[in-house]
Structure 1
Amino acid sequence: MTGLHERHLAVSPEWLALYYRHPLELTHGEGRHVWDADGNRYLDFFGGILTTMTAHALPEVTKAVAEQAGRIIHSSTLYLNRPMVEMAERIATLSGIPDARVFFTTSGTEANDTALLLATAYRRSNQILAMRNSYHGRSFSTVSITGNQAWSPTSLSPLQTLYVHGGVRSRGPYAELSDERFIRACVADLEDLLGHTRRPAALIAEPVQGVGGFTSPPDGLFAAFREVLDRHGVLWISDEVQTGWGRTGDHFWGWQAHAEHGPPDILTFAKGIGNGMSVGGVVTRAEVMNCLDANSISTFGGSPITMAASLANLSYLLEHDLQGNARRVGGLLIERLRGVTAASPAVREVRGRGLMIGIELVKPGTDEADPDAAAAVLEAARAGGLLLGKGGGHNTSVLRIAPPLTLTVAEAEEGAAILADALHAAG
């Protein structure tokens, strides 16, 4: 155990997990690579939990941060903030939400917490519909709508939460159905649930479940849900903390795979837009955003320095068509991974879209999740120079792959080869 690890254990909560038997201290990064305190270089396939969305040490972002820091770092929302207004204007347009208003926070947790505040105040209801296997943050309100038990440490809640089928396509009672019948069954479940509840405020859903192991329903499920929700006056909150900004390749927002009836009522975002800076936010139409009848601010949300980083990062992402790169390189990577894992009895499924890919591991010959295998592959991949994530609703048995969106074809091939060796070594 290193001295820094010992010091960490002496002052940190037991539930503050660290990856690896011998945890890493990352000291610097560049592009898609990072280095540890011992000088080892790694290809980063997890991007700081999908937060380093564009690249490590992207010059355009670091320059914007340095220049803004030289002027003023913080002023609060009590004063006009030009970078915040400029960023809000761009996000309002990109969101697709009519008459959009934007409120900035410091994280995805705070963004989802704000969305819940708005929805419950607007609908005058503390009842929330959420998806099974979901994850929406670590605050008291967001853990209470998180359907992934491993990340929901208390049953106490300010909200009454009811869980809906549909977030996991390949497990559960509807897994064997065709996509069309799967959607019909989930809609029937939602209809039945609404018949036994009183005035829900909203349904919150990740278009692709992140912590849940990069699972997703068939395209069109949330459009079908929307028809039911609209009839009951229930808002739809799309949690785009992990799926936003083009990561899924096919779409700029995850909700657009379910776009038959237009954008969600409320959209939340965070993580990658700051490329490592602490940025989150909520977008909704003015009627919903302005429903609060008391003062509210975020002390650090929308600070000049985080907005400068986000503006530079968003400009780079759009000018270099990183959504297109996620589609092209991500498509190649997922097919390569399916190829190298095809003969492995421990791999149940390789799934995902764009640069958001999950590999679910099970005990060979069974459908039983194998978190020990996932931990072993993580260690073996690290030894080979590759950093991965893990998650899943079945005891963290899913390898999570989400590199920066500038990933090259050569790096995708390199990562797939290291992962193939890691699966073999761990097996």
Structure 2
Amino acid sequence: MSDLLARHHAVMPSWLSLYYENPVEPVSAKGARVTDADGRTYLDFFCGIVTTMLGYDVAEVREAVERQLARGIVHTSTLYLIRGQVELAEKIAGLSGIPDAKVFFTNSGTEANETALLLATCARGSDQVLAMRNSYHGRSYGTIAVTGNRGWKNSSLSPLNVHYLHGTDRDAPAFRGMSDAGYIDACVADLRDVLATAAAPDVACLIAEPVQGVGGFAMAPDGLLAAYKEVLDEHGILFISDEVQTGWGRTGSSFWGIGNHGVTPDAMTFAKGLGNGFAVGGLVARGELMDGLTAKGVSTFGGNPIAMAAAGATLDYVLDHDLQSNAARLGATLIGGLRPLTELSTVGAVRGKGLMFAVEMVEPGTGAPAPALATAVMGRARERGLLVGKGGLHDNALRMSPPLTLTEEDAREGLDILTDAITAVHTEATKG
């Protein structure tokens, strides 16, 4: 392991971070469990950053890919007809709820968001974009520009003119103690003020995550994005829902994250879980908006036959097994089981929807963000056989996204391990 780590540091960029002082090298996996090079098996509650949403080695997905491989067509490009691409686009368009929807496939969420921004800015003839504070939309030049989390912004340069909105900062001094209704009213008033004072009249779009993934699974109160869209519609401003992490029933209460706000966007981007580990992304949008680009466009790898085989099988599995209901049921078990931890002085919050939840670690006494305590919990959880992630504006939120196929037994095991790990770190942080 130490030799491989040294080789990693020698040839990979320094900013390509690794979890743990002694990182995990996964070598095999089955179901919700991963085995490392040392033979240690872990229950995986992070799933490759919300990506292997069916778990590992799912027969239906593996066999669909093997059938496509056996045909010998691994790649053709979008210059040719790809049956799997058309069939999957038809399913996604139908599930989207967007009128006259069309679909374009990409390789990742970053590329999907880039394409959505291109559609909106072209349609509106404007480089002005609204985005959310604490947001994350990708690592490319354009998506970093609309990312509202300083820890992920490498450059102040931008191809876009961006204005950031409130929506997930209920703990800020200006909003602390407000009811949901009061907070929504304050945020909408701020949006109107931004449009009246800081923006020119031709804003292209708002891009927003229903649940902020890298932002530590922070989320706006249900209904805020619908209230925002009412204002956007008054000005002809388009609305893009970034569903890269929230789509496919993960929140339990809605198939798309935006469904919790009771509104249909002009476009939605997706990626991650759809391929269950195979690289696939894309966006679904109103046909008129999708067709609005005036120059030619192709995607060399987007929508390739292998990715489409995996994604089609994954989506069918989600629907056939009603995994949204499983996310709702076990999410309630996990989030409800974690809430009592907020009585500890080192736990600032427990939040989430479905199988997308987080625990925020804070300094005892001051309540300040405690990234070191979050790192310590990750280590303790790993020692006990559980893999979890980390995020948030201050890197102090433990974030979990177990596979949608999670069983009751695995959920209880993960809950017990996480509770033990947090309690142990709390005890160490507050002793003496």
Letter in structure 1 aligned against 2:329: R
Q: Is the 8 A contact 1:169 1:218 kept in 2?
A: no
Render the CA deviation track for 1:333-353: whole Å, top value 9, x for unaligned: 1011113x1442100100001
TM-score, L = length of structure 1: 0.98
Render the CA deviation track for 1:179-198: whole Å, top value 9, x for unaligned: 00000000000000001211
1:235 paired residue number: 238
TM-score, L = length of structure 2: 0.97
Instruction: Find the residue that maps to 1:195 and give its secondary structure.
Output: helix
Q: Is the 8 A contact 1:169 1:175 kept in 2?
A: yes
Instruction: Find the residue that maps to 2:212 and give its secondary structure.
Output: coil
Letter in structure 1 aligned against 2:36: D
Q: Does 1:97 align with 2:98?
A: yes
Letter in structure 2 aligned against 1:240: E
CA positional deviation for 1:422? 1.1
CA positional deviation for 1:67? 1.1
Aligned mates of 1:221, 1:97 — CA distance in 2 = 19
Q: Is the 8 A contact 1:134 1:167 kept in 2?
A: no
Aligned mates of 2:281, 2:254 — CA distance in 1 = 20
Instruction: Find the residue that maps to 2:239 and give its secondary structure.
Output: strand
Q: Does 1:249 align with 2:252?
A: yes
2:403 paired residue number: 404
Q: Is the 8 A contact 1:169 1:216 kept in 2?
A: no
Q: Is the 8 A contact 1:336 1:413 kept in 2?
A: no
The RMSD of aligned alpha carbons is 0.9
Instruction: Find the residue that maps to 1:75 and give its secondary structure.
Output: coil
Moved more, 277-286 or 342-351: 342-351
Aligned mates of 2:129, 2:77 — CA distance in 1 = 31
Render the CA deviation track for 1:223-269: whole Å, top value 9, x for unaligned: 1001100001100000000000000000000111111xx41001000
Aligned mates of 2:70, 2:7 — CA distance in 1 = 33
1:386 paired residue number: 386
Q: Does 1:211 align with 2:214?
A: yes
Q: Is the 8 A contact 2:361 2:371 kept in 1?
A: yes
1:37 paired residue number: 37
Aligned mates of 1:239, 1:256 — CA distance in 2 = 12
Instruction: Find the residue that maps to 1:27 and give its secondary structure.
Output: strand
The correspondence of residues 214-363 of structure 1 with structure 2, limited to 5 A, is 214-259=217-262, 262-339=263-340, 341-363=341-363
Aligned mates of 1:247, 1:258 — CA distance in 2 = 15
CA positional deviation for 1:35? 0.5
Moved more, 274-283 or 160-169: 160-169
Q: Does 1:195 align with 2:190?
A: no
Q: Is the 8 A contact 2:142 2:160 kept in 1?
A: yes
Q: Is the 8 A contact 1:131 1:147 kept in 2?
A: yes
Letter in structure 1 aligned against 2:367: D
Aligned mates of 2:406, 2:108 — CA distance in 1 = 25
Instruction: Find the residue that maps to 1:273 and give its secondary structure.
Output: helix
1:161 paired residue number: 162
Q: Does 1:415 align with 2:414?
A: yes
Aligned mates of 1:175, 1:94 — CA distance in 2 = 37
Q: Is the 8 A contact 2:342 2:349 kept in 1?
A: no
CA positional deviation for 1:167? 2.6
Aligned mates of 1:234, 1:343 — CA distance in 2 = 43
Aligned residues: 423
Identity of aligned residues (%): 57
Render the CA deviation track for 1:113-164: whole Å, top value 9, x for unaligned: 0000000000000010000000000000000100011011110010011100
Render the CA deviation track for 1:7-38: whole Å, top value 9, x for unaligned: 10000000000000101100111111000001
Aligned mates of 2:172, 2:354 — CA distance in 1 = 22
Aligned mates of 1:183, 1:344 — CA distance in 2 = 29
Q: Is the 8 A contact 1:128 1:162 kept in 2?
A: yes
